[in-house]
Amino acid sequence: AKHHPDGPKHILWVVAQNTPLNKENTGVSAAQVEQKRRRWLQRHDQDTAGISSLLPLYEGLRVRVTDKMNRRLGILKHCSGTVVGWELHPADRLMGRTAERMLQYHPSCIYVSFAGATWKLNDELGVGVYPLKAVTRTRVVNHKIEVKASRRGSQLLPDYACTDHMVQGMTLLAALVDCLGVHEYPALKGMLAAYVALSRVKSANGMRLIRAFAFALFRQGPPPGPHILMQMLR
């Protein structure tokens, strides 16, 4: 893959591989099993041990680690890095180079560079470059009849946005914030979430609102928990 100012020149799509473990409860025909596999690909990554169902792959892609990889090197959950290369399965190498294609197999390794790192694993890899290999996790996909499946893939996600919950405690240079739309009915938890998102930058010049938010969003009074606690302490 090559990266240039106008965007990625080549994009590879990596699909997680789901394998049913108790096929007697999964389906009778191969078509039924394939249909269930497609539904499993719609699961949220929080329900799949952080293994994303569909991952775009190109050089320069910003990614976020969804699970602890190496505590000694500081590669923990939510660490952000940049994809700098990968190793494809031999069958995918023979398919040739096109602008966009779906891989038949998961890459044996994805190389991610972590900014600010000072360690170096070996002479072949650069400073801060870590080889992330595919992992296999087993989970229950149907709790009623205890259907289990294994999923193989990478614990990576594109890192171009995050929730207000994840951004707590961060200090950002700039941010695009969505506080929901004008016609949304604001609840107290929405006000708290908006406060967290809007308070991450040091200056208003670094803040841009994606759309106008509801007039009543910040007119709901103080949060009852902290307000009552401060009254008692005073």
With cut-offs at 50, 70 and 90, classify the pLDDT of residue 137.
confident
Buried b (16+ CB within 10 A) or exposed e, 173-192: eebebebbeeeeebeeebbe
Question: To which H or E segment does residue 100 belong?
Answer: strand 100-102
- CA 153 – CA 40 distance, rounded (Å): 13
Query: What percent of the chain is modeled with pLDDT above 70?
Result: 92
pLDDT tops 50 at residue 219: yes
On whether the CB atoms of residues 17 and 145 are closer than 8 A, the answer is no
pLDDT tops 70 at residue 48: yes
What contacts 232, CB < 8 A, 6 or more positions away? none
